[in-house]
């Protein structure tokens, strides 16, 4: 088992969904149940591979790249097929393989218009390949391929299955992120050409290997160069996160995307950006990171307050939740910007927690839309009376989202705020302490918009419009899709070590070129 995983574990996890998608395309259009079963089976298979990887992962050596595969890929430029997992990628892989089957289960009777399960499920599976691939790739080009692969299925998902303004939203999503990617590929190529040459079969070649590049860590680079190259990564990843002021694609994409798209977007896609910072930009270019950190931290705390204010102005439930992502990712980025292991551990925790919690909120928003055919907050009310279970879950998710201790959200938020008190050497302590206070104030705002949402949607009496309507509470698929997420939100909240222990070693190692981390 161990040997099998060592050689093929990550590869199988990456490409199995693609196989599933291929099989799906071969099934005739009328066989909907079979399509669903195939899609679910392949995502579950990936999930079990993920579980097997987690079981076999050596947690005492989380800093070490495990299940490493290193094969020749594009010989001419020494870009290699390198896949491996360490403590930083493991939680995110786990999150991805966990969320996708739940999304498929939720879809069972909730396919968005135009009704086409085959295409829809195929898109989800292709997405999964891209997402898992991004988290396991250890070669910059390979990483980039997967990073970009994610764009297309999401573009189609929004553009075809989305809401009324799907065209605008999908195009904006695609172009905005592609713009970032363009700058990122500049930085990738620059990194490649700047990296020291190594001897490959008698040829002196540069390297794309992220493992080797982070050992090199930009030593010998001029400071200005490191800053510029980091800048390209910053744009690529920062747009994906999204960081203020590059966030405007997000509310549109989220609002227009079908529920499943929103869930995947919030749960995993945004993390590609933050993961990029942690995995690539900071370890490879620590000098650039130190220069950029105050800017990142500043934009992060602006995002926290700004996102919250944006939330307060929303009249649409889904758009409000979308805006809240800007604020929440602000905490993640604040943790990253401290360049301390405490902050980055918190950031990774925050990524997983945000994925679960905001995913849950989007699920509920989707079900509300399904029942009431509107998400306009003004028209809703008294959800607790008409659909008590959904109402309570909304309350639960809001509480988790505002960072209530005992639930997962807290462990992404509080440690990130804490880490800002004492950032890495070379960063302005006073400035980061100011960030800390602003971020702490942001927690009040978070409580404000979430509870206000809860009050307007769940409390009170149903509005005249829906007073006499029979609203169906949760379906079986809702129970199946949501309960694992809720359990995980509680379990991670009670015992945060489940993630911190995994990431800690790897994060400390990734910061080994930054003083005072």
Partner 1 sequence: MLTHAWIIPLIPAISFVLILAFGKKLPRGGSEIGLASVAICFVLALAVGAAWIGRVNHPPEAGAVEKHVAAVVAQSENSLAKSAPDAPAHANKAAAGAEEEHVTEPVVREITWFQNEGVTIKVGTMVDGLSALMLVVVTLISMLVHVFSTDYVSGDRRYTHYFGFLSLFTASMLFFVLAENTLQMIVGWELVGLCSFALIGHWWEEKANSDAALKAFLTNRVGDIGLLCGVIILYFAAGKTFDTITINTLANQGEIRHFLLLIASLSLMTAVMSKSGQFVLHTWLPDAMAGPTPVSALIHAATMVVAGVFMIARLYGVFFNGLSIGTANINVMAVIGAVTLIGAGLLAFVQSDIKKVLAYSTVSQLGYMVMALGVGGWTAGIFHLFTHALFKACLFLGAGSLAHHIHSFDMKKDMGGLRKVMPWTYRTFVIGTLALVAVPPFAGFWSKDEILASSQQLGGPGGYKLMLVMGTLGAALTGAYMTRAIWFVFFGERRGASATHDMHENGPRIVVPLVILAGLACIAGFANLPNTGFLSWVPESVALRFEHYVEPTGAYFPSAANAFSHPKFNILLALVSTGVGLLGVLGAYLWFWKDLGPHRLTERNKIARAGYVVLEKKYGLDILYTDVIAGGIKGPIAKATYWFNQNVIDGVVNLVASTARTTGEWVYKNIDQGVVDNVVKGSGLAAEGSGEVLRKAQTGKVQAYGAYLFLGAAVLAAIFVVIAS
Window 414 to 453, contacts with partner 1 (CB under 8 A): 414-415, 417-418, 421-422, 436-437, 440-441, 443-445, 447-448, 451-452
User: How far is the CA of 307 from the CAs of 24, 404, 418, 449, in angstroms?
Assistant: 40, 19, 21, 10
Site for partner 1 in 469-498 (CB under 8 A): 495-497
The secondary element (H helix, E strand) that includes residue 199 is strand 198-200
Residue among 73, 81, 108, 179 that touches partner 1 (CB under 8 A)? 179
Task: Tell me how many degrees the CA angle 485-487-493 measures, rounded to the nearest 5.
Answer: 100
User: For residues 54 and 186, which CB has a smaller minimum distance to partner 1 in the complex?
Assistant: 186
Q: Is 163 in the site for partner 1 (CB under 8 A)?
A: no
Query: How many Å apart are CA 435 and CA 422, to the nearest integer?
Result: 11
Beta-carbon contacts of 367 under 8 Å, excluding residues fewer than 6 positions away, are 259, 390, 474, 478
Stretch that binds partner 1, among 11-19, 32-40, 87-95, 403-411 (CB under 8 A): 403-411
Q: Is 345 in the site for partner 1 (CB under 8 A)?
A: yes
Site for partner 1 in 358-387 (CB under 8 A): 382, 384-385
Site for partner 1 in 209-238 (CB under 8 A): 222, 225, 228-229
Stretch that binds partner 1, among 197-205, 286-294, 366-374, 412-420 (CB under 8 A): 412-420
- Residue-wise burial string across 306-331, b where 16 or more C-beta atoms lie within 10 A, e elsewhere: bbbebbeebebbbbbbbbbbbbbbbb
Q: What is the residue-wise DSSP string for 16-59?
A: HHHHHHHHHHHS-TT-HHHHHHHHHHHHHHHHHHHHHHHHH--G
CB of 362 to partner 1, least distance (A): 20
Beta-carbon-side half-sphere exposure of residue 355 (alpha carbons within 13 Å)? 31
Residue among 76, 193, 220, 468 that touches partner 1 (CB under 8 A)? 193
Site for partner 1 in 299-338 (CB under 8 A): 306, 309-314
Site for partner 1 in 41-100 (CB under 8 A): none
CB of 114 to partner 1, least distance (A): 9
Residue among 215, 406, 465, 487 that touches partner 1 (CB under 8 A)? 406
61 SS3 class? helix
Residue among 4, 25, 51, 55 that touches partner 1 (CB under 8 A)? 25
Site for partner 1 in 131-160 (CB under 8 A): 155-156, 159-160
Q: Is 190 in the site for partner 1 (CB under 8 A)?
A: yes
User: For residues 52 and 145, which CB has a smaller minimum distance to partner 1 in the complex?
Assistant: 145
Phi-psi group of 459: left, alpha or beta (phi > 0 → left; psi -120 to 50 → alpha; rest → beta): beta
Query: How many Å apart are CA 68 and CA 273, to the nearest integer?
Result: 23
User: How far is the CA of 161 from the CAs of 27, 131, 262, 360, 375, in angstroms?
Assistant: 21, 20, 11, 20, 17
* Sign, Cα dihedral of 204, 209, 213, 214: negative
Q: Is 245 in the site for partner 1 (CB under 8 A)?
A: yes
User: For residues 12 and 416, which CB has a smaller minimum distance to partner 1 in the complex?
Assistant: 416
The distance in angstroms from the start CA to the end CA of the chain is 37
Residue among 163, 294, 460, 484 that touches partner 1 (CB under 8 A)? 460
Task: Tell me how many degrees the CA angle 486-91-218 measures, rounded to the nearest 5.
Answer: 145
Q: How many residues bind partner 1 (CB under 8 A)?
A: 83
Residue among 7, 51, 165, 167 that touches partner 1 (CB under 8 A)? 167
CB of 491 to partner 1, least distance (A): 13
Q: Is 196 in the site for partner 1 (CB under 8 A)?
A: no
């Amino acid at each position: 088992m161990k040997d099998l995983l060592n050689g093929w574990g990550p590869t199988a996890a990456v490409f199995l969904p693609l196989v599933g998608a291929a099989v799906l395309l071969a099934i005739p259009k009328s066989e909907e149940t079979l399509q669903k079963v195939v899609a679910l089976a392949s995502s579950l298979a990936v999930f079990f591979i993920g579980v097997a990887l987690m079981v076999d992962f050596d947690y005492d050596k989380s800093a070490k790249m495990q299940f490493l595969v290193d094969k020749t890929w594009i010989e001419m430029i020494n870009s290699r097929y390198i896949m491996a997992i360490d403590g930083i990628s493991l939680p995110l892989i786990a999150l991805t393989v966990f969320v996708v089957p739940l999304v498929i289960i939720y879809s069972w009777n909730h396919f968005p218009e135009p009704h086409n399960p085959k295409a829809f499920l195929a898109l989800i599976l292709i997405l999964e390949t891209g997402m898992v691939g991004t988290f396991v790739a250890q070669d910059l080009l390979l990483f980039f391929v997967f990073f970009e692969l994610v764009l297309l299925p999401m573009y189609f998902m929004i553009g075809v299955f989305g809401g009324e303004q799907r065209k605008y939203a999908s195009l904006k999503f695609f172009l905005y992120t592609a713009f970032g990617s363009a700058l990122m590929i500049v930085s990738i190529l620059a990194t490649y050409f700047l990296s020291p040459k190594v001897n490959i079969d008698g040829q002196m070649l540069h390297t794309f290997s992220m493992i080797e590049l982070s050992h090199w860590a930009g030593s010998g680079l001029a400071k200005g160069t490191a800053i510029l190259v980091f800048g390209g990564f910053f744009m690529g990843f920062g747009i994906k996160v999204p960081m203020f002021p590059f966030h405007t694609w997000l509310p549109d994409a989220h609002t227009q995307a079908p529920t499943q798209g929103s869930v995947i977007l919030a749960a995993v896609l945004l993390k590609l950006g933050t993961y990029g910072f942690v995995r690539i930009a900071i370890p490879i270019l620590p000098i650039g990171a130190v220069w950029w950190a105050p800017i990142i931290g500043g934009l992060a705390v602006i995002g926290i307050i700004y996102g919250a204010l944006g939330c307060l102005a929303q009249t649409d439930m889904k758009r409000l939740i979308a805006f809240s992502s800007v604020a929440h990712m602000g905490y993640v980025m604040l943790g990253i910007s401290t360049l301390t292991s405490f902050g980055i551990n918190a950031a990774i925790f925050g990524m997983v927690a945000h994925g679960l919690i905001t995913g849950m909120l989007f699920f509920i928003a989707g079900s509300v839309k399904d029942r009431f055919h509107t998400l306009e907050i003004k028209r809703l009310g008294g959800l607790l009376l008409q659909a008590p279970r959904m109402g309570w879950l909304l309350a639960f998710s809001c509480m988790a989202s505002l960072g209530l201790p005992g639930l997962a959200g807290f462990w992404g938020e509080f440690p990130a705020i804490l880490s800002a008190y004492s950032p890495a050497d070379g960063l302005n302590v006073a400035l980061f302490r100011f960030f800390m206070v602003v971020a702490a104030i942001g927690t009040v705002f978070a409580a404000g918009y979430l509870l206000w949402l809860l009050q307007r949607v769940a409390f009170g009496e149903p509005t005249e419009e829906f007073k006499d309507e029979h609203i169906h509470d949760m379906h079986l698929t809702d129970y199946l899709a949501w309960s694992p997420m809720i359990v995980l939100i509680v379990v991670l909240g009670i015992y945060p070590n489940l993630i911190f222990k995994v990431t800690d070693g790897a994060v400390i190692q990734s910061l080994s070129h930054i003083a005072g981390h």
